Amino acid sequence: MKIAILGTTLQAGVLAALLAEYGNQVYWCYQHSHLSTTSINIQYQDEEVNRRLSKQREAKMLLQSTLVDLPLDIDTYLFCYNPAEFKLALNTLKELALRPIIHPKLMVNGSTFGLHGTDKLKAILPNDDWVYFPDVIQEGNAINSVLNVKHVIIGAEAEAAKLMMEELLRPFFRYQNQYLFMPILDAEFTKLSISGMLATRISYMNDLAVVVEKLGIDIANVKQGMGADTRIGSAYLSAGIGFGGENFSHDILTLSSEVSKTGAKSRLLQQVWEINEQQKEILFRKLWNYYHSDLKGKTIAIWGAAFKENTSSIHNSPIHAMLAALWAQGAKVQLHDPQALQEIYKMYGERDDLILSLDAYDVVQNADALCVITAWKQYYSPDYKKLQQTMRHPLILDGRNLYDPDFVKAQGFAYEGVGRL
């Protein structure tokens, strides 16, 4: 099959690599403008994705192309745009509409445009077979988030479109019962609802974490007991300092907005979001209380800026609330992150009260506290002796509950987790 992939999202990269790997001829247009005649080089933070892309480029199964150079006999067009690229998607489709393409073609919307997003794209090319294929790619686990799922949700109404999608995805989903076909609008709402449910679980645990601290209960025991119940399971039950990410956050806000448009009011969704935003400030509040409301002149070391591990994205990350609160109180921040420092620099530039370093132990020099924001693997087993020797005051604020409180305290540190004793 000849496939054109348009867009630069992680989903675009993953599907370009996998579809080419399984014998399709893939043409990838990763232009920033629908009028672009030159292409840019795309690199993701996920090295496994980059490796697979490089291999398929070498094999000539994945070809870089511009919109104007795409062959006219493409079988399937796959649109992979982020929420901010809706106008780009519309302009790209308008350009495609001017080309002498023999219709119908299979048009797959894999973008995060919310409800009716596919219909808005379809309005430009109404004679093609349109499908909605939700972007479920998880940053940090990109390839497996496609290959290891048991069922795939697809919004499709025409039988021809369903057959083409089954053929397109057959190498990854070989059994008929793995395909959950439904109307396009239903699939779009289902995607939003899944994100809403996961966000609800996270915010519920974060809300419980606040309560258990006052009751003298360890949230780790609560999480273990809840996860052991097969009706609940253990996924998305970790208390912490809130979720972030572009697509996930966009889904929650879109779902809440769509519910409001119906005239109904979802207090649950509103509270889920409010709990999450408040949770991003919890480490600052603990630090504030520890130092009796006086942080002026303090040096605070932070490990992690990305919204989650294995990505450079800081979109809606807790780091922003933390930085704003610390700077407002006159504190200096020394920050380490293995991948996201460039993004931090782009957003905040050079500041006297922000020191960036690629060495995790450089940032703890003379620090009055160490705050862990992101659960990078390299933070799991710190050198406590080195921390003791370099920090001005031995205080660890663990925003991801990475450490054993008893062990950390036994090393001579003051310790604060989220819902931990």
Q: Is it true that domain 190-278 has CATH number 1.10.10.10?
A: no
Question: pLDDT value at position 199?
Answer: 94
Total residues found in the chain within this entry: 421
- pLDDT category of residue 47 using cuts at 50, 70 and 90: confident
Q: Nearest CA to 344 among 375, 387, 380, 373?
A: 373
Q: Which residue shows structure tokens 């990838």?
A: 28
Read off the pLDDT of residues 118-149 as tens digits, 9 standing for 90 and up: 999 999 999 999 999 999 998 878 999 999 88
Identify the CATH assignment for 281-416 out of 3.40.50.10470, 3.30.1510.10, 3.40.50.720, 3.40.190.10: 3.40.50.720
What are phi and psi for residue 128, nearest 5 degrees? Answer: -100, 165
Q: Where in the chain is the domain with CATH 3.40.50.720?
A: 2-181, 281-416
Q: Is the Cβ–Cβ distance between 351 and 326 less than 8 Å? A: no
Question: pLDDT value at position 258?
Answer: 83
Tokens linked to 378: 């390299």
What is the percent of the chain with per-residue pLDDT over 70, rounded to a whole number? 97
How do beta strands 76-79 and 62-64 pair? unpaired
Average pLDDT over residues 48-75: 94
Query: What is the chain's mean pLDDT, rounded?
Result: 93
CA gap 79, 271 in Å, rounded: 33
CB atoms within 10 A of CB 224: 12
Say yes or no to pLDDT of 289 above 90.
Answer: yes
Average pLDDT over residues 297-302: 98
Say yes or no to pLDDT of 176 above 60.
Answer: yes
- pLDDT category of residue 59 using cuts at 50, 70 and 90: very high
Q: Is the Cβ–Cβ distance between 338 and 304 less than 8 Å? A: no
Q: Rounded to an integer, what is the distance from CA 320 to the centroid of its chain?
A: 16
Q: Is it true that domain 2-181 has CATH number 3.40.50.720?
A: yes
CA gap 345, 369 in Å, rounded: 22
Q: Where in the chain is the domain with CATH 1.10.1040.10?
A: 190-278
Question: pLDDT value at position 412?
Answer: 97
Q: Output DSSP code: residue 351.
A: B
Read off the pLDDT of residues 326-370 as tens digits, 9 standing for 90 and up: 999 999 999 999 999 999 999 999 999 999 999 999 999 999 999
Say yes or no to pLDDT of 295 above 60.
Answer: yes
Helix (H) or strand (E) holding 358: none
Question: pLDDT value at position 256?
Answer: 85
CA gap 206, 198 in Å, rounded: 13
Question: pLDDT value at position 211?
Answer: 96
Q: Is the Cβ–Cβ distance between 295 and 288 less than 8 Å? A: yes
The burial of 192, by beta-carbon neighbours within 10 Å (0-12 exposed, 13-18 middle, 19 or more buried), is given as buried
Question: pLDDT value at position 403?
Answer: 98
